[in-house]
Structure 1
C-alpha cells in the first residue's frame, strides 16, 4: 500500500501537524528536565493534567482549560514544597503522581462518560484533534523555543553554579518557576491530543538518546528534537498503515530507540 492510499492530508494533515508541534516542544523541554534529574515531573504533570481534564468535564468547562489549569497549579505548588522541604523534589512528584492517578480513577468510576474520556486521555485522541488543538500545539512549540532561548543560560547556571547566579543579583527560582509552568502547560495540552504516556515518552526518551549520542549541550538539543520528530513521524505513518493506535506504537518505538542508545557507548560530554 502506498502512502497516499492511507494518508489523506484532508483528514490527517491537521492531526499530524498537531502532534509534530509537540514532537518539537517536548524533547526540548525534556532535555532541561533530564539535566535537573526531574524526569518524574513529566509523568506527574501529564497525569495531573488528565485528572484536571476530568474535573473540567465535571464542572462543564473546556477540558484543555481544566487540564492546563490544574497542571500549572501543581507546578506552582512544587515551588512552595521545595521552599518548605529542601531537596525533596522527587518526593513531591511521586506524591503528585499517586494523587492524580487516584483522582482520575475515582472520577472515571463515578462520572457518566468519564471512563471513556479517561481512556482517551491515557491513550490519546490525536486523530480527532481539531484546529484549536493545532493552534495550541504551535503555541507550545513557539513558547518552548522562545522561553528556552531567553532562560537557557540562567537554567544552566542555576543547575551548575547557583551561587554565582545569586551573586549577580538574579534569583534562580524565578527562571525555574517559569520553566516549570511552561512544562506543565505543554504537557497538559499534549495530553489532550497524544495522551499521557505518549507525551511522557516524547519528553523522556529523546533527551535520553541525546545524552548518549550528543557531545555537547547544543548538539544534545538538536539530537533530542530530531529524535522526537523522527520517532513521531514513523509511529504516525505506521499507525495509519497498520490500523493500530498511535500512542502505543510511539511508546514502543521510542523504547526500542532508547534500548539501542543505551547499548551504544556514551560519547564524552563537553
Structure 2
C-alpha cells in the first residue's frame, strides 16, 4: 500500500511524471480492453458459426441448381412440391445441423448430428460439409441422427471427374482418413494428378457437382480397362463441426424403382 501511495504522490509531483504515468495507465487499460474483447469474441464464435450456417442454408435453398424444370410433355399433372415463379419445382432441400459426435480412426466411422426426425431428417439424406461431402444418414431418432461417414468401409458414393464427367465409385480402404479411392474410371479418361472429383448425376442421395476431392495418385492395372484413383478428400474429418443435410424429395421414388426386380419381357 505504501508503494502505491508513493507512486501516486510521485505522479502528481510534476507534469512530466503525471504525463508518464498517464501514458502507462492508458497503455495498460488498452491492453486489458483488447484481451477482454478477444476473450468475448472467442466465446461468441459458436453463436456466430450457428448464424452463418443458418444463413448459408437459406441461400443454398435459393440456388437454381436445387430446381428442375417440369416435363413439358406432361398434360395433367399436379406437383405437390414447392414451385418457384418460373414453374420449376424443388428437387433438393437443405437443412443445417451441428456435429455432436464423430469418429475417424475406426474401420467403420460415423458422425452424430443434433437433428432428427422431429426436424425433418430422414434415412438416406446426404450430408455435406463446408468443404465437401461427408456421408449419408443411416439412422434417426426424434432429435438425433447417425451418419455413415465417407470414412466407412461400406460407404459407396457415385462420383466423377469434373472436367469430363467420367464416373466411378468413391470408397475408403480403411487406412488414411485423408485419402479416398475412386474405382472403375475408364482408361479413356485423360486423368492427371490434381484433377477435381465431384459427385455425379447418378446419385440418388447427393446433388451433382459437389466437391469430393482431388486426384492424389493414379494406379494403373494393365489387366484392367479401368483406373483406380487415390483421392485427397476435400473434407477435413478431424475438425468438422457444422454440416448440411440434403434431401432429394424424390429419393424414395427413385430408389424404389431402381430396386424393383425387372420382369421378363
TM-score normalised to the size of structure 1? 0.22
Using CA pairs below 8 Å that are at least 6 residues apart, which structure has the higher relative contact order? Answer: 1
TM-score normalised to the size of structure 2? 0.22
Q: Which entry has the higher C-alpha Rg, 1 or 2?
A: 2
Q: More strand by proportion, 1 or 2?
A: 2
Q: More helix by proportion, 1 or 2?
A: 1
